Amino acid sequence: MTEKINITKLARLASLSLDGCDTKALYAQLQETMEYASTLMELDGSPEELPQTVALSCLRVDIALPSPERSVILNNSSFVSDGFIAVPKIISDDN
């Protein structure tokens, strides 16, 4: 793993307040996660390469279902603006 994770920036983007111990623990966990993700990226995804702990028979069948009516979705939303679901802005324009 050659990339350095900027925990301070990540915490700010996630609206987290971390102290020194939390920062070190989170950094270690994220390093471990990124190393595992790098390992997964090397796999080609064939069934032979899947971990033996994954039972393929336990995966659900992917069945396409019709989408709910737009009005039902909008009526269940907390905020609607101009016919769209509105969400509060959480990321500032400054980097």
> What would the 3-class secondary structure string for the chain be?
CCCCCCHHHHHHHCCCCCCHHHHHHHHHHHHHHHHHHHHHHCCCCCHHHCCCCCCHHHCCCCCCCCCCCHHHHHHCCCCEECCEECCCCCCCCCC
Report how far Cα 19 is from the mean position of its chain's Cα atoms: 23
Question: Is the per-residue pLDDT at 37 higher than 70?
Answer: yes
Do β-strands 84-85 and 80-81 pair in parallel, antiparallel, or remain unpaired? antiparallel
pTM (global) more than 0.75 = no
For residue 5, what pLDDT is reported?
A: 77
- Report the C-alpha gap between 4 and 30 in whole angstroms: 10
Query: What digits encode the pLDDT tens for the residues 40-92?
Result: 788 776 666 656 554 555 667 789 999 999 999 999 998 999 999 998 888 87
Please give the residue that has the higher pLDDT: either 53 or 12: 12
Least confident of 25-29, 31-35, 58-62: 58-62
Contacts of 8 (CB under 8 A, 6+ apart): 23
